[in-house]
Structure 1
Amino acid sequence: MPFKTRNLVESFRYAFAGLWFALRRERNIRIHGIVGTLTVILAVHLGVTRLELAVILLTIGLVLTAEMVNTALETVVDLFTDEYHPLAALSKNLAAGAVLVTAITAVPVGILVMGKYLVIAQGRVVPLKLRSGLLVAIVGAVFVVLLVVAIKAALGNLRGFRGGMPSGHSALAAALVTAIYFVGASPTVVALAIGLALLVAQSRLEARIHSLTEVLIGMIVGIGMAWLVFSLLAV
């Protein structure tokens, strides 16, 4: 294949060939493509505005673009060397990290754009205001997960939610308690939520999955992030 195309038709042909290769060979791109298509269909069904639909399409496009750039970089690295090299590994990790950033950012974007249109209640789809307690709690939970994953990755402990600093389960449990408090639940409900959160923390300690420090830091992360999200979004 020539390094420089001669006309616009050839440019499009090579571009579509690359897209077809990515869809055919890369499972993650197929998954993101299917999820993106379903998201667009749902957004149109819910009647989002043209600007909101544009935001959704742009976000999906960024995720797919990051995946294809990652695939291209991996292919180039493999072309130049078939042996392990720390710089080659770093290049692949950075490209994969770019995909991760765009993918996890797409989640709160989708929630913020479409959440105000959708809540499942008694089998019906009914309108939901953007700043309602339920939606803010969901957004808060998403950001808690993202922050926990970011901290684990920064500390080299990215093994999902099993072990490592901080405790993801404790963070989510503490965030839930904070959300329940902010939505104005009765003291009895708040007390029950605190009890459940403590049980979650105790189970992580008893199973020796986390240390006391990891559990406490996780709870602080959950409370802090939930408090921040509710302070910024809740009316």
Structure 2
Amino acid sequence: MLLNCDLGESFGAWKMGLDEQVMPHIDLANVACGFHAGDPDVLAHTLSLVKQHQVTLGAHPSYPDKQGFGRRSMQMSEQSLTNTLHYQIAALEGMANVQQLSVSYVKPHGALYNDMMNNPQLLKWVLQAVARYSRSLKVMILATAEQDKHRELAHKIGIDLMFEAFADRLYTDEGLLTPRSQPNSVHNKQALLQQVSQFHDDNSVTTNTGKRLPLVADTLCVHGDNEASIMLIQDIKQLLNT
């Protein structure tokens, strides 16, 4: 199972994440495209790290919500959302081309990601928008109980999916992430590693009601916010390689 991480989310003098430390331990870099975080200098530096460590590059676009870090839902028309996604992907791709890199996939950020996983119409719009981009890109979405349905939708649109699981989050019976506002929605280290082990060994997760839910994921989302999280990534990687 490949490890992916959201990166390039600093802005100006404000620093978010330990990108230099996390990059050697991951396989996929979801790089902010400027609408929730990032700026030209941050983007160029992040891409240099991607190139140095030979990590697969993905676009991490969001609603146009830099003030809210892309965590606020927005009502957008299909055309406006499509243009917003194309603008961000193209910005990342243009900067990547300067360093002889190319974008391989798209993982929406924050509220856009959560909204599309809860709204089939919005998910369809996002997939169609990426399918209409100038070249073929995969889309990373949450692995849920409706994986087969999502795979069928993507096939009809003509796009490939990458299914993602979260090591640190408590799942619902539907395979969605328990809202952070609810108790025990974020696992401690022991529960996190146990969930990673279950993903790895059994292709399943234990939900908030104790139900075993089969989930097949291509990639696991990890975080590089602090020193403890970097050490945790190393533990996860060791666990996955055993």
TM, length-normalised to structure 2: 0.24
Higher RCO (CA 8 Å, separation ≥ 6 residues): 2
Structure with higher strand content: 2
Structure with higher helix content: 1
Bigger Rg, which one:
1
TM, length-normalised to structure 1: 0.24
